[in-house]
Amino acid sequence: MKWVSVPRLLLSAAAGMSTHACVQPECASPDYGNPECRVLIENELARLLTGAGVEIRFQDPAAQGVGSWVAGGLVREVAPGEVALRVAGPGAFAVSLVPAGDAPSSLAVTLDNVDPAAVVTVGPAGDEVEVSSPGTTRRAFEVAFDDARTVWIRSSRPCPPRFRLAVTADIQTNPWQFERIVERLIVEAAQAEAEGEPLVGLIIAGDLSESSREDEFEALAPIFGRVPFPVALTPGNHDIYRPLHPAYNRNFGPGNYAFAVCDVHVAMLDSGSGTIARSVQARLPELLDRGGAGHLLAVMHHPPYPGITGSGWSREDMAAQALVEFAAADVDLVLAGHNHALHDFPDIDIGGRQLREIVVGTAGANQGVGVPRYGYLRLAFDGEAMTPCFVEVTPPGLDGPAGDPLRSLDYCAP
């Protein structure tokens, strides 16, 4: 071998490592353990062409055109002429319905996960009519297509200056304990409403299931249906590890989305694979754009800052990059689960900016020996102030609290 051929050989080897002849489009052969494939499917599931030819798309709440769509929920045709729409989270949303042609037709629509206090309107632009609220999170109505005009379903939620959000994570093997938490939330919602400080949403930061099985998700749906306000979800590692079926997305819709409710903007990130998709990382400035909201939350399953809990991202480089985006966007609170415990990291220095992260993996998953600490985090918003505190929901057979407040995080007053 001549010496001159050695560098050529090395360059060829380097080129060979960076290019392949056997490439294919992202997720052409789906692997739903890959976060990019879940990005694709959560967007696919946010639109549907019904059997009768009606194109239904979740839209940005401010959208006027139907050229695109967003992963703002889940659309299913449950029977010919009947569609079920699950809105991803609290706050404003929009859905466009483009009929197949001029011929008059109709479609039965069920909207799930909508705040009972929300104002929902239906109809072509300029001819909207309000859909009355039955006092639950479900609205059922008929959409009539009198002509070829696009029908819009839009919703907004009027808010007082004081309101609350609840946050928890990690249900896994113990949905019965989660039901106890839901009952506590039902009681709190009524009390909070009476105090003029409504509870406007429950955020669950992943690990709804233990084994990513369809039946586990199906068992949870009626429990979520009992919650008297919208539930925003994102998957955890236990929800996505069966690569052949996107069971989480098929049941609950997207894991990567943002919503604004009252004065808070929330970015939900699917970190089930121990990292987020690169395409989602590229959208972080957009997802974290608080608009006019006074508060900004970032929610995901794996805590981007794990301390020495042992429960972090599988890609620490991307965790650091995500923390950078949170710091740059001036996120008020990072919320996570994964660790079946309650942790508060109040001062994480990222580029000189102090971030606060609370891990609240207390929705029912096994916490090992000893009396577990179950419950949820309550975030009380009042103008510019946001006050977090923990509501403990003890397991059956236990009177009184199982744990003590953390040094930097109090238990809520009874």
| Residue from the set 77, 321, 382, 412 that interacts with another protein by CB under 8 A | 321
Residue 370, CA distances (Å) to 366, 392, 403 in order: 11, 15, 10
Give the whole-angstrom CA distance, residue 358 versus residue 343: 6
CA-nearest of 59, 217, 36 to 125 is: 59
| Residue from the set 175, 198, 255, 274 that interacts with another protein by CB under 8 A | 274
| Binding track, positions 3-22, relative to another protein; x by CB under 8 A | -------x--xx--xxxx-x
Give the whole-angstrom CA distance, residue 21 versus residue 161: 58
Chain positions 22 to 51 lying near another protein, rule: CB under 8 A, are 22-27, 36-37, 39-40, 43-44, 47
CA-nearest of 267, 327, 273, 314 to 291 is: 267
Give the whole-angstrom CA distance, residue 233 versus residue 225: 13
Q: Report the nearest approach of another protein to the CB of residue 340 (Å).
A: 4
Looking at the Cβ atoms of 30 and 225, the one nearer to another protein is 30
Q: Report the nearest approach of another protein to the CB of residue 236 (Å).
A: 9
CA-nearest of 131, 126, 133, 134 to 142 is: 131
Looking at the Cβ atoms of 177 and 237, the one nearer to another protein is 237
Sheet holding 105-112, edge to edge: 73-79, 82-87, 105-112, 139-145
| Residue from the set 225, 307, 395, 401 that interacts with another protein by CB under 8 A | 307
The CA-CA-CA angle for residues 221, 223, 225, to 5°, reads: 70
By the rule CB under 8 A, 237 interacts with another protein: yes
Q: Report the nearest approach of another protein to the CB of residue 259 (Å).
A: 18
Looking at the Cβ atoms of 64 and 366, the one nearer to another protein is 366
Q: Report the nearest approach of another protein to the CB of residue 283 (Å).
A: 6
By the rule CB under 8 A, 68 interacts with another protein: yes
Residue 342, CA distances (Å) to 3, 142, 277 in order: 62, 45, 27
By the rule CB under 8 A, 64 interacts with another protein: no
| Binding track, positions 181-210, relative to another protein; x by CB under 8 A | ------------------------------
Residue 318, CA distances (Å) to 35, 271, 290, 314, 335 in order: 13, 11, 22, 9, 17
> Checking DSSP bridges between strand 342-350 and strand 375-382, what pairing results, if any?
unpaired
Q: Report the nearest approach of another protein to the CB of residue 131 (Å).
A: 27
| Binding track, positions 326-365, relative to another protein; x by CB under 8 A | -xx---------xxxx-x----xxxxxx-------x----
Give the whole-angstrom CA distance, residue 327 versus residue 334: 10
Interaxial angle between packed helices 214-226 and 175-194, expressed in degrees from 0 to 180 and rounded to the nearest 10: 20
Q: Report the nearest approach of another protein to the CB of residue 146 (Å).
A: 28
By the rule CB under 8 A, 378 interacts with another protein: no
By the rule CB under 8 A, 272 interacts with another protein: yes
By the rule CB under 8 A, 269 interacts with another protein: no
By the rule CB under 8 A, 367 interacts with another protein: yes
By the rule CB under 8 A, 65 interacts with another protein: no
* Piece in contact with another protein (CB under 8 A), picked from 74-82, 154-162, 221-229, 314-322: 314-322
Looking at the Cβ atoms of 83 and 300, the one nearer to another protein is 300
Give the whole-angstrom CA distance, residue 263 versus residue 396: 36
Q: Report the nearest approach of another protein to the CB of residue 135 (Å).
A: 35
CA-nearest of 154, 22, 170, 10 to 85 is: 154
* Piece in contact with another protein (CB under 8 A), picked from 81-89, 98-106, 148-156, 266-274: 266-274
Q: Could you identify the residue written with the tokens 């071998």?
A: 1
By the rule CB under 8 A, 244 interacts with another protein: no
Give the whole-angstrom CA distance, residue 323 versus residue 320: 5
Chain positions 119 to 158 lying near another protein, rule: CB under 8 A, are none
| Residue from the set 245, 285, 408, 410 that interacts with another protein by CB under 8 A | 285
| Residue from the set 366, 385, 398, 410 that interacts with another protein by CB under 8 A | 366
Token pair of 323, please? 């923390």
Q: Report the nearest approach of another protein to the CB of residue 120 (Å).
A: 24
CA-nearest of 60, 35, 391 to 237 is: 35
CA-nearest of 93, 74, 82, 73 to 54 is: 82
Looking at the Cβ atoms of 73 and 201, the one nearer to another protein is 73
